[in-house]
Amino acid sequence: MIPVPLVAKKKILSLDASPVDGKLFRMPLFRPGTVVLWAGKKHTVSYVMIRRRELWVYLNGFEHPVRPETLRVAPATFSIERQVRR
């Protein structure tokens, strides 16, 4: 069995996933159409790619990917409890 390096876990934690209370937590959500702040300007996420255990965010109008740590986005709230749909 090959041990998995802890680098991926450190990168995930650096994205500021923070608990709100015991059942909710907040973390940034990068998906197509999300408006982010990068280099002092607003940009829209084109697509997201996971390559070599790293997250890369592509912005509309830019050919090269951007590190998610350099982007500012309002965090989304998630629940760790199962939600009943009605």
Q: Where along the chain do its domains lie?
A: 7-79
Q: Are 42 and 35 in contact (CB under 8 A)?
A: yes
pLDDT confidence of residue 20: 64
pLDDT confidence of residue 18: 64
Q: How far apart are the first and last CA of the chain?
A: 44
pTM, 2 dp: 0.66
Backbone phi and psi for residue 26, each to the nearest 5 degrees, phi listed first: -120, 140
- pLDDT tens track for 10-63: 343 345 566 666 788 888 999 999 999 999 999 999 999 998 889 999 999 999
The more confidently predicted of residues 38 and 85 is 38
pLDDT confidence of residue 56: 94
